[in-house]
Amino acid sequence: MITVDRLTVSYGSFTAVDDVSFVAQPGRVTGFLGPNGAGKSTTMRVMVGLTPPTSGQVTIGGLRYHDIPNPGRHVGSLLDASAQHAGRTGREILTIGAQTMGLPKSRVDEMLALVGLTDAEAKRRLRNYSLGMKQRLGIAHALLGDPSVLILDEPANGLDPAGIRWMRGLLKGYADRGGTVLLSSHLLHEVEQIADEMILIGHGRIVAQGDKKSLLAHGDGAATTLVTSLDNAALGAALTGGGHAVEPLGEGLKVQATPEEVGRAALAAGVVLTDLRSGGAGLEDLFLELTSATAREAVPGVTPTPTGGIPA
Amino acid sequence: MSILVPVFGILVVTSEWSQRNALTTFTLEPHRLRVMGAKLVAVSALAVATILLAFVLGALTNLLCAAVTGNPLVWELDGSQLLWTVIAQLAFFAMGYALACLLLNTPGAIALFYVVALVLPLVVWGPLYFIFDWAKDVLPWIDINTALTPLMAGTDFAGDAVVVETINYLQAGWTIVLWVGIPVTLGLWRISRAEVK
């Protein structure tokens, strides 16, 4: 369990992390979302003791990182896959890690196999690695000590789609076995697929947190539904009659009502539905909306488009 | 050997910061001074090994020289001078290590090391020593080599025999504090507080 308690990190007058508190629970994947420069990496660096906090603290399993004996055995972290000696081979990097943690050498081979780095690739020097290979090596390094807590900063960075799917399965399985997983991303669809809990951060402040459902419920209130039926005109009339605003959208209708209300109206009117889904601001819109005030670019003219997340 | 090899003592510290694997090292061992202590032990072991190597080479050369030239074989070694040679070698390695801790930057630390260990003695201290009388009194308090020479060789910087007195030990101790103790303290203080990125 990772507990962040009123964490603040300031550099002079600039506050990178501003009074952030949250808990990452065991058995769950916690997604840490925010635009570039929102304070995600700084928060994660404080967790593993690389950056001193200005105030507040982070504990992992009740201990400050500094006080955890042989921390690599309890907390696996991947903060920057490139931060390794470029002249060492992948195998050497893992071997040094294993020796530092007092692990048997066989663990290195296990991890190389787990992340799918071949023997030939493991003998190459890091400077000749692609970003995706570095990322796999970094994940292998994080898992080396068989930790119960994983802290991963942008782990999907540079992975191909198959690699992202692989990692998703890996982390999900890890959390299902009782591990605590915290991963950061600036890409929502990367996180919403696996995260049980999401923490949205912008400008160093937490702007929202909760699971997907509760985050959406916190969205801008009025639910909208996208519906297509065999008789849109009749359905539209029934809904308008029921006091809901209706407007045509593409082949169907956009209704200011919950899917349930639309479904009942269709049932009552005897109209066959061919498509019914929540068209409320998707998580992506919520994410942009919540962080736009703090994002690097203002997001001009971002109107809620019913993407509902990009399937990956 | 006290000029080239101490660069290892610098690289042991700085390479980790330029290659950025300090991030991994200090994540696996958050007690940073423990890591730095281990590095100092490694550097000192290397320094001792270079002395042993020099010692063996010196002995072989002595034998070879006697055999070739037909001169009588002379073994002459003062225990105290040997000890101080070891101390001087360790001090030079430690100075490299200390300046590296202070700067955490390879080119910077190597340049500073050579300025202190080589350029200043040759270009500045040497001429001052021979030209001005006051320099003979002042330099042993500034330059580590000038301070250690009487203890290592029984002569002063100019090669004249000297009788070693308490002040020589004080000068040796002080210059080691100046070039090792002070930079290593500041450097380790910096390392223990630095944000590792």
Give me the CATH number covering residue A119: 3.40.50.300
Average pLDDT over residues A211-230: 74
Is beta strand A252-255 parallel, antiparallel or unpaired with respect to A225-229?
antiparallel
Give the domain range for residue A263: 225-278
Out of A193-197, A238-242, B48-52, B176-180, the most confident range is B176-180
> Structural domain tally of chain A?
2
Decide if A75 is inside a domain. Answer: yes
pLDDT for A190 equals: 80
Residue A91 sits at the chain B interface (C-beta within 8 Å): no
Mean pLDDT by 10 residues, chain B (197 residues): 81 92 94 95 91 88 84 78 88 94 95 92 89 88 90 82 88 95 96 91
DSSP B71-127: PPP-----HHHHHHHHHHHHHHHHHHHHHHHHH--HHHHHHHHHIIIIIIIIIIIHH
Based on the fold, state whether residues A36 and A171 are members of the same structural domain.
yes
Q: How confident is the model at residue A197 (pLDDT cuts 50, 70, 90)?
A: very high
Based on the fold, state whether residues A253 and A229 are members of the same structural domain.
yes
Is pLDDT of A297 > 80? no
Residue A196 sits at the chain B interface (C-beta within 8 Å): no
State the nearest Cα–Cα gap between A244 and chain B, in angstroms: 54
Q: How confident is the model at residue A302 (pLDDT cuts 50, 70, 90)?
A: very low
Residue A15 is which amino acid? T
Percent residues over pLDDT 90 in chain A: 57
Instruction: Name every residue whose Cβ is closer than 8 Å to that of residue B92 and which is 6 or more positions away in sequence.
Output: B2, B3, B6, B47, B117, B144
More confident site: B81 or A285:
B81
* pLDDT tens digits along B144-169: 988 988 888 888 877 788 888 899 99
Based on the fold, state whether residues A79 and A105 are members of the same structural domain.
yes
Q: Mapping DSSP to helix (H, G, I), strand (E, B) and coil, where does residue A124 land? A: coil
Domain boundaries, chain B: 6-193
Based on the fold, state whether residues A134 and A251 are members of the same structural domain.
no
> Helices B106-114 and B6-18, interaxial angle, to 10°?
160
Decide if A192 is inside a domain. Answer: yes
Q: How confident is the model at residue A220 (pLDDT cuts 50, 70, 90)?
A: low
Based on the fold, state whether residues A131 and A253 are members of the same structural domain.
no
Is pLDDT of A298 > 70? no
Smallest Cβ distance to A83: which of B15, B24, B30? Answer: B24
Residue entry with tokens 């994940």: A139
Based on the fold, state whether residues A96 and A144 are members of the same structural domain.
yes
A84/B30 CB distance under 8 A: no
Is pLDDT of A219 > 60? no
- Whole-angstrom Cα distance, residue A254 to residue A248? 6
Is pLDDT of A43 > 90? yes
Based on the fold, state whether residues A166 and A265 are members of the same structural domain.
no
Residue B130 is which amino acid? F
How large is the C-alpha radius of gyration of chain B? 19
Residue A48 sits at the chain B interface (C-beta within 8 Å): yes
Based on the fold, state whether residues A125 and A99 are members of the same structural domain.
yes
Helix (H) or strand (E) holding A248: strand A246-249
- Whole-angstrom Cα distance, residue A222 to residue A211? 19
Based on the fold, state whether residues A191 and A90 are members of the same structural domain.
yes
* pLDDT tens digits along A49-103: 999 999 999 999 999 999 999 999 999 999 999 999 999 999 999 999 999 999 9
Residues of chain B contacting A48 with CB distance shorter than 8 Å: 27, 30
Residues of chain A contacting B195 with CB distance shorter than 8 Å: 45, 50-52
User: Is-contact B183 B10, C-beta < 8 A?
Assistant: no
pLDDT for A9 equals: 95
- Whole-angstrom Cα distance, residue A256 to residue A289? 20
Length of chain B: 197
Is pLDDT of A216 > 80? no
Token digits of residue B22: 């300090």
Based on the fold, state whether residues A103 and A163 are members of the same structural domain.
yes
Q: How confident is the model at residue A307 (pLDDT cuts 50, 70, 90)?
A: very low
Length of chain A: 312
B30/A66 CB distance under 8 A: yes
Instruction: Name every residue whose Cβ is closer than 8 Å to that of residue A273 and which is 6 or more positions away in sequence.
Output: A227, A228, A229, A263, A266
Decide if A296 is inside a domain. Answer: no
Is pLDDT of A129 > 50? yes
Q: How confident is the model at residue A11 (pLDDT cuts 50, 70, 90)?
A: very high
pLDDT for B176 equals: 95
Based on the fold, state whether residues A144 and A237 are members of the same structural domain.
no
The closest of A283, A236, A232 to A257, measured between CA atoms, is: A236
Mutation to test the B interface, candidates A17, A46, A73, A100, most B Cβ within 10 Å: A100
Residues of chain B contacting A43 with CB distance shorter than 8 Å: none
Smallest Cβ distance to B28: which of A51, A85, A101? Answer: A101
pLDDT for A304 equals: 44
Percent residues over pLDDT 70 in chain A: 89
Nearest CA in chain B to A72: B28
Decide if A311 is inside a domain. Answer: no
Residue A77 sits at the chain B interface (C-beta within 8 Å): yes
Token digits of residue B105: 């930057």
Burial A63-90 (b: 16+ CB within 10 A, else e): eebeebeebbbbbbbbbbbbbbbeebbb
The closest of A135, A140, A126 to A153, measured between CA atoms, is: A135
Q: What is the ipTM of this complex?
A: 0.83
